[in-house]
Chain A
Amino acid sequence: MTPRVGVITFPGSLDDKDAARAVRLAGGESVSLWHADANLHSVDAVVLPGGFSYGDYLRCGAIAKFAPVMEKLVDAGNGGLPILGICNGFQVLTESHLLPGALTRNDHLHFICRDQKLRIENNSSAWTSDFEVGAEILIPLKNGEGGYVADEKTLDELEGEGRVIARYLGLNPNGSRRDIAGITNARGNVVGIMPHPEHAVEKLTGPTTDGLGFFTSLITSLVNNGKVSA
């Protein structure tokens, strides 16, 4: 059975189609989920895509966390469902407390859009298992509020438990503490990343196909966990 991966669309989501396409290229079946859905339609994993959910009014991701589908998603994430939040999706995950810390205004105040080099730091999460630790990848980055912050204790905890999954290489694009580009929860099923792996899955449209690894990792971990057969 092909793994079914839900992609949630909020009003203002931008990258839901690209995320769904990345899921299909990795060998999964994409399932469109709507912010007002009362259930997750029995999907095996969920992607929260980039964009500007609810216009990013108030704070990025703040209003999205009260969407009906999010109540189900928070329970499911705490129960082990693989969830990947990209950019605005990462912001929704921190606002929902599925991941610690917060994303704040870029320290230089400019919206930044460029291809960004990252180093993979953890390959034990559901979304990074196909990478080698230390692998350098190049994927698009585009954000205005991508500065990852958390208190020192939380940052030390993330480092100590190996929960930083990717770090910015070269110039830090947004003032993120300790060059953090992405993190995972303690269980390794929930991952948030600020740059956009779903925009680097095909030679024609991306700088590389390095982003595909996040989606193939998911398929691999679902198969290994016996959730779906290969």
Chain B
Amino acid sequence: MPKIIVSVALKPEILDPQGRAVLGALGRLGLSGVADVRQGKQFVLSIDGDVDDAKLAQINEIAATLLSNPVIEDFTVEVRP
């Protein structure tokens, strides 16, 4: 069953306090050399049947309206056969 992966992350200019908290924990765990952490979310849609252009266009539309808020977030859409 093909999967469509929608990844959503805050835009670079938006403060990400959760990512910052994770960055702090990495330092405490002894991992050095990490300059920044950005936290996002991922939606994995398992698709019945083939993923055609129409389906992909529909999912891009939903990614831009429901799954992400374009005011503060960017998203990417990836198809895994």
Contacts and interface: CB of A to CB of B under 8 A. Distances in A.
B69 A105 contact: no
Interface in B31-81: 66-67, 69, 71-72
Contacts of B66: 58, 62-63, 66
Interface of B: 10, 13-15, 17-18, 21, 66-67, 69, 71-72
A192 to B, nearest CB: 13
Nearest to A175: B15
Contacts of B71: 94, 100-102, 150
Given A102-B72, A109-B21, A149-B72, A58 B15 contact: no
A107 B21 CA distance: 10
Contacts of B13: 151
A151 B11 CA distance: 11
B18 A104 contact: no
A105 B15 CA distance: 9
A95 interface: yes
Instruction: Decide if the interface of chain A is mainly helix, strand, loop or mixed.
Output: loop
A104 B10 CA distance: 10
Interface string A97-134: 00011101111110000000000000000000000000
B73 to A, nearest CB: 8
B69 A59 contact: yes
Nearest to A101: B71
Contacts of B21: 109
Contacts of A150: 71
Interface in A166-212: 175
B67 A104 contact: no
23 contacts: A58-B67, A62-B66, A63-B66, A94-B71, A95-B69, A100-B71, A101-B71, A102-B69, A102-B72, A104-B10, A104-B14, A104-B15, A104-B72, A105-B18, A106-B17, A107-B15, A107-B17, A108-B17, A109-B21, A147-B15, A149-B14, A149-B15, A151-B13
A62 B69 contact: yes
Contacts of A104: 10, 14-15, 72
A101 B13 CA distance: 13
Considering residues B10, B14, B17, which has the most beta carbons from chain A within 10 angstroms of its beta carbon? B17
A147 B15 CA distance: 10
Nearest to A94: B71
A66 B66 CA distance: 9
B60 to A, nearest CB: 17
A155 B39 CA distance: 25
B64 to A, nearest CB: 12
